[in-house]
Structure 1
Amino acid sequence: MSTTTDVTALAGRVRERLAARHPGVPFAELRTLPGGHSGLTYSMAAGPDSYVVKAVPPGQKPVGRNDVLRQAQVLRALAGSPVPVPEVFAVDEREPAWFAMEFVDGEAVEPVLDEHRLDPGLCRTRMLALAGVLRELHGTKTGITSELLDPAGELERWGRTMRAVPENLRPGAEELLSRLASMVPDGMPPTLTHGDFRLGNVLCRGERPAAVVDWEIWGLGDPRIDLGWFLLFADHRNFPRLGRPVPGLPTEEELLAAYTDGRTELPDLAWFRALARTKMAAIMGHNLRRHREGKHHDPDQERLPPTIAAMIRTALDILAQRS
């Protein structure tokens, strides 16, 4: 947990690095940005310009979701590509490490999960546009390296997370994991993957995506991992007790058509759609377990069991149709 002293020290370091961009302009204080799920996330203004600052929490190691330098690396690698990302202006590797990027004005709304008053037609347009951004991401060559994420490795990773959840919270999970393991498809050539690609992680202005954000779990791997996850958010019925109906959202088939843009059909996509549901069930089960164990008190997690069960059930249905 950061202290006033920690924040003051970080603010001084940020001002020192950005001062040359704003000669004679006073900097505002660092302000915590709500909604950050990794490291520490702040905003800082210098005259009319604003920055987002992401930092490693004091006393913690820059690993996993706290590895802000890794996030800065992928953002810099994508600069100038067809994938819209915030521009990185400063990186400081000294402990605790941090980087500063432009503050992109826009809305990050997940239509079927977030409370919002957006026009359904706008939501549809944004989601179809985002399918094209995902296609561009998977076609972008950056030269950066990372551990490869193949289908078998992804299943092993999320299987461990699932099995850490009490059995009564994940009905049918063992059968699902067994079925997935018996049907692992061959991998496709690895591409750059976001890891959590959806409208809730994209700042939009009007109809267009302005910046893809939240790159904490990017990697190099099978593009169908990203695609299966993205398709999951097309239908509120995938999220019982959580989802909100949005008339006219594109179907999974429409999003897939927008992503492929007339290219050859992707093989074995059903397996990746089932994997995405497995991942969601595992994440929700993990969060619910932490709440019930008192590690992270959040009564809203008690709404999750119907969605966890539905994710597992529909994943099994998808695999049964593929057989």
Structure 2
Amino acid sequence: MRLASALEAFLHERLPAAEAVRVVAFRALPRGASNATWAVDLHIECAGAACDLACVLRLQREYGLLAPYDVLREHRVLRALDRAGVPVPRPLWAAARCEGIEAPFFLMLRVEGRSLPAFWYPAEGSELRAIAAQLAAIHALDWERAGLAFLVPEAAGRDPLACDLAGWRIRAAARGLEGHPLLVALGETLRRERPSDLRLGLLHGDPNPGNFILRGEEVAAVVDWELAALGDPRSDLGFYAALQTVFFAPPPVPGVTPLSRAYEDVTGVRLPDLAYFEALGLFKLAIVMAGVGGWGAFFSARETIERRLCELLGPRWAA
């Protein structure tokens, strides 16, 4: 395969002391709804010794679900998290391009394990508690000390809501949605109705169960960090609630899901204003839907989103 050969040549350049670098297996992975993802097995010989590495290749796409993408940013996030002791796949090599690979990419070690079905958490159980505890640990991380200050958007300062939405406004602009009445009205409402206790923490961005690799009942790795940002930790929980609303059924109690209940249980901290954060998640998902299937998907989801926003925000919101 041409891509595998180009990867071998790249690694020869990065590992000049190696006598041999071979890609012995290369296959596409279903994981990764955004950037292209492959499982890559490497055999490396150096100074009379040999090692085999099970890796994952992430190759940046130009278009797709969450475009515009930045896999080099994701690689940088993984490096910081790995050094800070967060269970993530260990990042290896990265490049903006190389001969035969014209898009940014990076390699990371592959983490074996299993994940729960995408989008759907069980009502209770040790696995759910382990994921909730790991998500809470991510939110509690000293992100500045961990070297993640580069996630602060230039124009956002330390404002949690502005930091959280900065990347989403870029995605909206890329789809021509920045002036859409739904997003304009909802954005104004989110600013006006923002809770008074917002704090700035590290967000994963998409804490659906498919992004947690389990080994036994423990979290072996948290993957897919392309949406990593800074914002109020409840934003992650609200995004998952919004996923339920758009793709399944709205949570009976606004913003409250098995994940948020487990999070409160393992942390001992009550999470107020979850309805607000579900509305914030719906702002993001309106943009995602345009990435899924263009304007048709956006308008198809709009009715569901607007109806739920009226339930969450009442007469305070109208597009």
Fold similarity call, TM over 0.5: yes
Match of 1:85 among 78, 83, 88: 88
CA distance in 2, matches of 1:218, 1:67: 11
Alignment CA distance shift 1:71-1:163 (3 Å): closer
Q: Aligned partners of 1:157 and 1:27: how far apart in 2?
A: 35
Cα distance in 2, alignment partners of residues 252 and 202 from structure 1: 13
The corresponding residue for 1:105 is 112
Pair 1:158–1:6, CA change in 2 (3 A): closer
TM-score w.r.t. structure 2 length? 0.70
Query: 2:285 maps to what in 1?
Result: 280
Name the CA distance, whole Å, in 1 between partners of 2:29 and 2:127.
Answer: 24
> Quick one: distance in 2 between partners of 1:25 and 1:156?
41
> What is the SS of the residue equivalent to 1:203?
strand
Please name the residue that 1:74 is paired with. 77
Relative to its length, the structure with more strand (as a share) is 2
Give the paired residue count.
287
Instruction: Classify the secondary structure of the residue corresponding to 1:217.
Output: coil
1:55-79 deviation digits (Å, cap 9, x = unpaired): 346x99xx96542222121111111
In 1, the alpha carbon distance for the partners of 2:268 and 2:234 equals 16
* Greater shift in the superposed pair: 267-276 or 26-35: 26-35
Q: Which amino acid aligns with 1:282?
A: I
- Large movers: runs of 4+ above 6 Å: 18-21
**In structure 2, distance between residues paired with 1:94 and 1:166:** 34
Counterpart in the other structure of 1:164: 177
**How does 1:217-296 map onto structure 2 within 5 Å?**
217-232=227-242, 238-239=245-246, 242=248, 251=258, 254-258=261-265, 261-263=267-269, 265-290=270-295, 292=296
Identity of aligned residues (%): 30
- Match for residue 304 of structure 2? 310
Within the alignment, does 1:195 sit opposite 2:205 as a pair?
A: yes
Question: What's the offset of the Cα at 1:124?
Answer: 4.3
Give the TM-score normalised by the residue count of structure 1.
0.69
Partner of 1:43: 39
Deviation at 1:231, TM superposition (A): 4.0
SS of the residue aligned with 1:42?
A: strand
Q: Give yes or no for contact 2:89–2:109 (8 Å, CA) kept in 1.
A: yes
Contact kept? 1:52, 1:100, Cα under 8 Å: yes
- SS of the aligned residue for 2:23 comes to coil
Post-superposition Cα deviations, 1:172-216, rounded to whole Å, max 9, x if no partner, equal 777645533431334734222222222122222333222111111
Going from structure 1 to structure 2, the CA distance change for 1:152 and 1:39 (only over 3 Å counts) comes to closer
Structure 1 residues 26 and 316, CA gap change in structure 2 (3 angstroms): same
Structure 1 counterpart of 2:193:
183
| Structure 2 equivalent of residue 298 of structure 1 | none
Distance change >3 Å, CA 205–CA 322, structure 1 → 2: farther
Residue 314 of structure 1 and its aligned partner are, at CA, apart by 2.1
Separation of aligned partners in 1, 2:232 and 2:88: 21
5+ unaligned residues in a row in structure 2: which ranges? 44-51
CA displacement at 1:27 relative to structure 2: 3.3
Q: SS of 1:107's equivalent?
A: coil
2:50 pairs with 1:53: no
Contact 2:119 2:210 in 1 (8 A): no
How big is the shift at 1:105?
1.4
Q: Secondary structure at the match of 2:224?
A: coil
Which of 279-288 and 69-78 deviates more?
Answer: 279-288
Distance in 2 (alpha carbons) for counterparts of 1:253 and 1:46: 40
> Is the CA contact 1:275–1:315 (under 8 Å) kept in the aligned structure 2?
no
> Does the 8 A contact of 1:41 with 1:55 survive in 2?
yes
Residue 229 of structure 1, CA deviation? 1.4
| Whole-angstrom CA distance in 2 between matches of 1:266 and 1:27 | 48
CA contact (8 A) 2:95 2:105 kept: yes
